[in-house]
Every structure is written in C-alpha cells, then in structure tokens.
Amino acid sequence: MKIGVLKTDDVRKELVGEYGEYPEMFADLLRSQDPTLEFSTYEVQHGQYPAQVDEVDAYLITGSKTGVYDDKEWIPPLMDFVRKLHDQKKPTIGICFGHQLIAQALGGRARKSDKGWGLGVHSYEMQETPSWMSEPTNSFNLLVTHQDQVDTLPPGGRVLASSEFCPMAMLQVDDHMLTFQAHPEFTKPYSNSLMELRREAFGTDVVEKGQASLQNDIHENMVAKWMLEFLRK
C-alpha cells in the first residue's frame, strides 16, 4: 500500500533534528505495523498535490498549528481536494488539523474551544465499535496538543470515540474517512519537548498538568493498527 501524506505544517526547527518531520513520524508509526508500506509526501501548505487522486492508494492529512478557519490561501484548495477525495470515496485519514479540516470541508464545523488547550495524554471512551476494527476496546489513550475542536458533524459523520474534554474525538465519515483529534504519531519525548518549547503560549499550569499525564500509557500501536485496517477494508 502507498499512502500519500498531505503535509500541512513543519515541525519546529528547534525539534526537527531530533524528532524529524511529521511524514517521518507517521511512517515510523505505521511501518511498525507493516514494514512494506510506501509513502509519498505532498506539501499542500505550499500548493503541491498529486497529479491524479489515484497516484496513491490512500491519504493522510497531518496536524498543523493553523486553524481550519484561518485566512490562509492554501486552505481552500485543500478543502476542495478533500471534497474530491470524498466524492471519489478515497480512503483518507485526518489527524488533529486533518480531523478538523475534513469535518469543515464536508459541511461540519471546527472552532476554538472554550475549554482551552489540551496537552499530554488524554483518554477516550469508545461510543461505537465499527465492523472493520479487529480488536475492539472500551477506551484508549493518545497524546494531544490542541485547542480547536470539531463541534458539528458533517453529513454522514458519526462519533466513534469521545471524552469530556473533546466530545467529537474520533469520527468516521461514510465508509472512507476516519479522523482523530489526537496524535498517534507523537512520542512522549516529542510531546514533552513541544510543551517545554511552548510553555509561555500554553501556560505553565496547563503544561505541568500535561507533563504529569505523560506517566500514563498510550495506545499508539493499537490505533496504528486501526488506521491500516480502515484503509484496507
């Protein structure tokens, strides 16, 4: 399988040397489940897209510091491309910004939450067990860095998992789009480094709570398996 990564942001320059860019993080995560996977990266933040939708087997939209509602010239073309993927029923996964963008592009809504920043390890409760999931669970933990959230589902969307902090944390749209607010590609060291780097922006109290949560387990490998099961179903 060849996955096209739609890259919507760059890792902070202070961290990229140690942790790599987002496409590398996703490749490391997903190849832990299937070493034969191939990846192509498209810098959609700079207007780069595949020549044809079927250039790859599936797509993954990364996270970004940008909000889906921001006035950035590259966002409307990306929303148009998401609608094209939706029309062609192309298997697509959205992560954080990608999760919000898919919802917004297809008729839902994402906005800045009045709950503020979510950092560190968050826990989610499953609301529905889809048929493609081979190892059902009642809950799972992942790393997060976000203050924007989806608050309105797009047509055909349903909530698979939620938390008190983020009620629409894992969504499926029809049978070909799967989205997560959290970051299965993040590692605890990267999350900790990001919190330290942005301590002033996040707020010390929120950072310290997020750092304390890093003692909890995360289930990134289980979620990576879900992602591949969804793309291959």
Is the model's pLDDT at 7 over the cut of 90? yes
Q: Considering the candidates 96, 99, 122, 166, report the single residue annotated as catalytic.
A: 96
Is the model's pLDDT at 129 over the cut of 90? yes
β-strands 2-6, 58-61 pairing: parallel
CA distance 15 to 22: 11
Mean pLDDT of the chain: 97
Torsion angle defined by CA atoms of residues 104, 4, 195 and 72, in that order, rounded to the nearest 10 degrees: -50
Considering only CA atoms, which of 171, 168, 125 is closest in space to residue 146? 168
Q: Is 183 a catalytic residue?
A: yes
Distances (CA, A) of 222 to 30, 58, 133, 139: 10, 19, 10, 11
Determine contact, residues 92/78, Cβ cutoff 8 Å: no
Is the model's pLDDT at 17 over the cut of 90? yes
- The stretches of 56-144 forming alpha helices (DSSP H) are 75-87, 97-105
High-pLDDT (> 70) share of the chain, %: 100
Q: Residue 100: what are its φ and ψ, rounded to 5°?
A: -70, -40
CATH code at 98? 3.40.50.880
* Confidence at residue 135, expressed as pLDDT on a 0 to 100 scale: 86
Does this model's pTM top 0.85? My answer is: yes
Determine contact, residues 119/209, Cβ cutoff 8 Å: yes
Work out how many domains the chain is built from and give that number: 1
* Mean per-residue pLDDT, 191-204: 96
Q: Considering the candidates 99, 122, 176, 185, report the single residue annotated as catalytic.
A: 185
Q: Residue 61: what are its φ and ψ, rounded to 5°?
A: -105, 125
Q: Give tens-digit pLDDT for 136-176.
A: 899 999 999 999 999 999 999 999 999 999 999 999 999 99
* Confidence at residue 108, expressed as pLDDT on a 0 to 100 scale: 98
* Confidence at residue 167, expressed as pLDDT on a 0 to 100 scale: 98
Neighbouring residues of 17: CB distance < 8 A, sequence distance ≥ 6: none
Q: Considering the candidates 99, 122, 146, 183, report the single residue annotated as catalytic.
A: 183
- In single-letter form, the type of residue at position 141 comes to N
Question: Furthest-apart CA pair in the chain: how many Å?
Answer: 47
Task: Band the pLDDT of 68: cuts 50, 70, 90.
Answer: very high
Q: Which domain holds residue 91?
A: 2-232
Q: Give tens-digit pLDDT for 86-118.
A: 999 999 999 999 999 999 999 999 999 999 999
Determine contact, residues 40/59, Cβ cutoff 8 Å: no
* Confidence at residue 178, expressed as pLDDT on a 0 to 100 scale: 98
